[in-house]
Amino acid sequence: MSEYASPDSLVSTDWVSQHLTDANVRVVEVDVDTNAYNEGHVPGAYAWAWNTQLCDTVRRDILTRKHFEKLMSETGISNSTTVILYGDSNNWFAAWALWQMKMYGHADVRIMNGGRKKWLAEAREVSRETPAPGAAKYDATGPDNSMRAFLDQVMAAYEGRSHQMVDVRSPAEFTGEILAPPGLPETCQRGGHIPHARNIPWGKACNDDGTFKSADELRALYGAEGIDGSKPVIAYCRIGERSSHTWFVLKYLLGFDRVTNYDGSWTEWGNLVGVPVERGVVAAKV
Amino acid sequence: MKVENHAERRIEIGGWEVNLRTYQIGETFYCKADNVSPGANIARSTGATRDEAEQKAISKATERLAATKRRAV
């Protein structure tokens, strides 16, 4: 069995339990909000809410460099801190945080394999105490937008067939049967997908316990749909967080060197006037 | 505190597959309902018993899922 391309990008729940009091380690639970964190969390973990702390709340964008530095500082994270991210939904939003931290040049950020689900299922210790605000100096670099795809780049990639495009939403979203995940608000005018994209739902990269599948299994999963890294890859979903999970898998577990996350995703493309949209299932591989 | 009585099961609500994850922390039972595909959280609830927490989550999930429209493709 082959190893992940960057095995150090993951830590186990055991590793975390052994480093809870390590002064150079900060554990952060990341989710769409902090409701789950408030129920009980990894002892000593901080909380970041995706919708208020990891996005620009005025314009649609990632955090500005200044706001990113402020968040790190307030969490007690310095440039040399080892940051362990985890969250609910198989680390869905933790991957978004990692993507953003990588763009701003943080050297040592990793994901707790299995996330909140595995920690709970293993009947581990949890806490309801919120750590005191941190106070650390943080100087970000970037953002390094080579990890990110913008609309004009995605359009050029579509027109030139220069990239492998992977739509990581559910099959029903991909075909246009539904405009948003079941139970969530519709946020686009049209359903379907970017023509030529392949549909590999993000969750297929995970085992039932929330951990990532093996490198061989992942290579087979993406390879079966023609996503093999021979061309640059663009991952997208609805709002860019599920695709940050796939971006992490392709870049750090499979070692693809040219993979970007299109965070505008379907809420951008599916609301544009005049762009090509395909509906239903498309069989042809890129 | 330790997590106790962690369990998961799948049910169907209005034609949608839903995953219910329930666990106890302290005296409280917590239930999370997600929509399986793609796995997004659609309801969280608490209760004094597993059944109470699950029924509240199912009720909230049912309401939210009822608003999802299927389109012909």
The predicted pLDDT at position A33 comes to: 87
CB < 8 Å to B68, chain A: 178, 180, 182-184
pLDDT band at residue A286 using 50, 70 and 90 as cut-offs: very low
Domain ranges of chain B: 3-65
Is residue A109 in some structural domain?
Answer: yes
Tell me how long chain B is.
73
Q: Do B73 and A173 touch (CB under 8 A)?
A: no
Q: Do A121 and B6 touch (CB under 8 A)?
A: yes
CB < 8 Å to A202, chain B: 38-39
Domain CATH code at residue A242: 3.40.250.10
Is residue A37 in some structural domain?
Answer: yes
**Domain count along chain A:** 2
Interface test with B, best of A30, A34, A88 (most B CBs within 10 A): A88
Is residue A123 in some structural domain?
Answer: yes
Report the SS3 class of residue B39: coil
Number of Cβ within a 10 Å radius of residue A6: 14
The predicted pLDDT at position A2 comes to: 76
Which chain B residue has its CA at the smallest distance from A129's CA?
Answer: B1
- Is A210 in contact with A120 (CB distance < 8 Å)? no
- A237: annotated active-site residue: yes
Is residue A93 in some structural domain?
Answer: yes
pLDDT digits (tens, 9 = 90+) for A219-275: 999 999 999 999 999 999 999 999 999 999 999 999 999 999 999 999 999 999 999
Domain identity same for A196 and A112: no
The predicted pLDDT at position A77 comes to: 97
Is residue A213 in some structural domain?
Answer: yes
Mean pLDDT of chain A: 96
Q: Tell which of A144, A177, A199 closes a domain.
A: A144
Domain identity same for A123 and A217: no
Mean pLDDT of A164-177: 97
Is residue A18 in some structural domain?
Answer: yes
Q: The complex's ipTM? A: 0.95
Strand order in the sheet with A10-11: A10-11, A109-112, A82-86, A25-31, A46-49
- pLDDT score of A285 more than 60: no
pLDDT digits (tens, 9 = 90+) for A110-168: 999 999 999 999 999 999 999 998 789 999 999 999 999 999 999 999 999 999 999 99
The predicted pLDDT at position A35 comes to: 93
pLDDT digits (tens, 9 = 90+) for A200-215: 999 999 999 999 999 9
Domain identity same for A159 and A264: yes
- Under an 8 Å CB criterion, which residues of A touch B? 32, 35-36, 39-40, 88-90, 92, 117, 119-128, 169-173, 175-184, 186, 191-192, 201-203, 242, 279-280
The predicted pLDDT at position A1 comes to: 61
Mean pLDDT of A76-81: 97
What class does CATH assign to B3-65?
Answer: alpha beta
Domain identity same for A110 and A177: no
Give me the domain span that covers residue A166: 148-269
Q: Tell which of A76, A110, A144 closes a domain.
A: A144
* Residues of chain B with confidence (pLDDT) below 50: none
The predicted pLDDT at position A282 comes to: 61
Q: Annotated catalytic residue: which of A55, A188, A206, A237?
A: A237
CB < 8 Å to B69, chain A: 178-179, 186
Domain identity same for A256 and A211: yes
Domain identity same for A184 and A136: no
The predicted pLDDT at position A281 comes to: 79
The predicted pLDDT at position A283 comes to: 52
Is residue A282 in some structural domain?
Answer: no
- pLDDT score of A66 more than 90: yes
Is residue A2 in some structural domain?
Answer: no
